[in-house]
Amino acid sequence: MTELCVEGDGAHDGTGDIDELWNLHEDFSVADAAALVAGYSPTLVQRCEQDSRLIHKSFPRYPVVLDALSKAITNGRLNAAIRYSARDYGYADRMADIEYAELEVGAPEYGNTAEDDEELYVGRSSFFYKPFADWSLSTVARDDLIDWLQRRGVRSGFFFPAGTNSPDYLDPGNPRYAAKLAAAVHAWQAVTDSGGASPKQALAKWVREHAAEFGLTDDEGKLNETGIDEVAKVANWQPGGGAPKTPNE
């Protein structure tokens, strides 16, 4: 298994080994997304995921991307469904605790079979869990990931097969970059269905969720509601108001 992890001298650029069927995914585990952004096949990276030394040697770009994604998710700059690893506190675990209690003096303790970093939750259903996000289980949507990559200036690789570049007005590195304009464009692109609310309400909701990315919060994280309203007005495709139109209208 170890040999399967080593990719030559450790440098492995490009996407030649990535199966094109990964394009079928609309959602990716954060770990798989990191591999794809770094230019590696997630299948190959998964073979080394338990050995950080081999990961750094064989896929040196992967830990950098995974760290960036996990921090962006944790800090609320990239939407993701965060999940935690868990397993049942089963019959074998209960029997082991009973046997352990018989050897000890005092009240029985539970969770003696916990693995590294695991904690035991005791309730109607008892289970072991790890109290931190599992990036192999947590998922990120393709569109959210592409949107985040573009804002970070990444416009090539697996998620940009045509090598297309974003317009200058969406490039944070452009000297004439206007954050509110970029927020309005991204909101307009992201909100394709207002979900029964008015377009402006749906747009404002999206901008609030991404406010920090466009400088629409203060140093303490408080939302700039005036700025959010201005952005929603610019992106609003139904400025005349009225009831939202249903798809068959």
Condensed to tens digits (0 to 9), the pLDDT of residues 137-184 reads: 999 999 999 989 988 878 788 988 765 556 778 777 778 889 999 999
Rounded Cα–Cα distance for residues 157 and 146 (Å): 11
Amino acid at 54: L
Higher pLDDT, 5 or 43: 43
How many alpha carbons fall within 13 Å on the CB side of residue 5?
A: 18
Q: Residues with Cβ < 8 Å from 29, sequence gap 6 or more?
A: 135, 136, 137, 138, 139
Does the pLDDT of residue 10 top 50, yes or no? no
pLDDT digits (tens, 9 = 90+) for 179-219: 999 999 999 988 888 888 899 999 999 999 999 889 999 88
Q: Residue 49 has what DSSP assignment?
A: T
Rounded Cα–Cα distance for residues 107 and 102 (Å): 10
Helices (H), 80-121: 91-103
Is the Cβ–Cβ distance between 139 and 32 less than 8 Å? no
For every residue of 214-243, DSSP letters joined together read: GT-B-TT--B-HHHHHHHHHHH-S-TT--S
Q: Give me the pLDDT at residue 171, please.
A: 75
Structure tokens at 14: 């490009």
Radius of gyration over alpha carbons of the chain, in Å? 23
Q: Residue 22 has what DSSP assignment?
A: G
Q: Residues with Cβ < 8 Å from 45, sequence gap 6 or more?
A: 31, 32, 35, 55, 59, 62
CB atoms within 10 A of CB 66: 22
Rounded Cα–Cα distance for residues 93 and 104 (Å): 17
Structure tokens at 248: 């068959």
**What value does the mean pLDDT of the chain take?**
82
pLDDT digits (tens, 9 = 90+) for 21-62: 999 999 999 999 999 999 999 988 988 876 767 777 888 899
Q: Residue 8: which pLDDT band, with cuts at 50, 70 and 90?
A: very low
> How far, rounded to the nearest angstrom, does the alpha carbon of residue 97 sit from its chain's CA centroid?
37
